[in-house]
Amino acid sequence: MRRILTALAAAALAAALLAPAASARLLVTFRYLGVNPKLGRMIDRPPRDNSPGDVFNFRYTLRVRRGVAGTVFVTFRYTSKSRIQGTVRLRFREGTVVARAAFGAAAQHARFRITGGTGAFRGSRGIVDVGDAPGDTLRLVLRLR
């Protein structure tokens, strides 16, 4: 399964590089679950509770049906008491996808715009939809153009 996903991602990237006009129509979608969250560094600036400058880092194991696909690193930085600037880094064996978004602190879903990548994902564009799932799980949908 991992080889199929890798081949699809490589094909999408190659098509985007070789045929710029066609790449606007090309869409490859991958679905993952982020499980086993680990809270990393947390910076809680005064005043207590959620306030501008607070930063939270999480790490999730990225899973597909047949096993582990990679790792997700999530950083949330409060820009106000009710707004967050978020960064998602999806790390795969083939490379990394980086996406950013701004959203409300109470949101249960956010759409992150892919801003770059490394390895097989260098120059990638598209979106990453991130939403809550039952338990301490994230539902991630990666759409590459």
Residue 36 sits in a domain whose CATH number is 2.40.480.10
Lowest mean pLDDT, pick from 14-18, 59-63, 70-74, 84-88: 14-18
Amino acid at 7: A
> With contact defined as beta carbons under 8 Å apart, do 139 and 61 qualify?
no
User: CA distances (Å), 71 to each of 15, 18, 21, 27, 45, in order?
Assistant: 26, 29, 32, 22, 28
Q: What is the pTM of this model?
A: 0.76
Average the pLDDT over 36-45 and give the result: 83
What is the per-residue pLDDT across 97-135, written as a single tens digit (0 to 9) for each? Answer: 999 999 999 898 999 999 999 999 999 899 999 988 888
Number of domains in the chain: 1
What is the per-residue pLDDT across 54-73, written as a single tens digit (0 to 9) for each? Answer: 999 999 998 888 889 999 99
Q: In the block, which residue shows the tokens 């598209």? A: 126
Query: What CA–CA distance (Å, rounded) separates 80 from 50?
Result: 8
pLDDT at 54: 93
- Give φ, ψ of 115 to 5 degrees: -110, -5
pLDDT at 114: 96
The parent domain of residue 128 ranges over 2-144
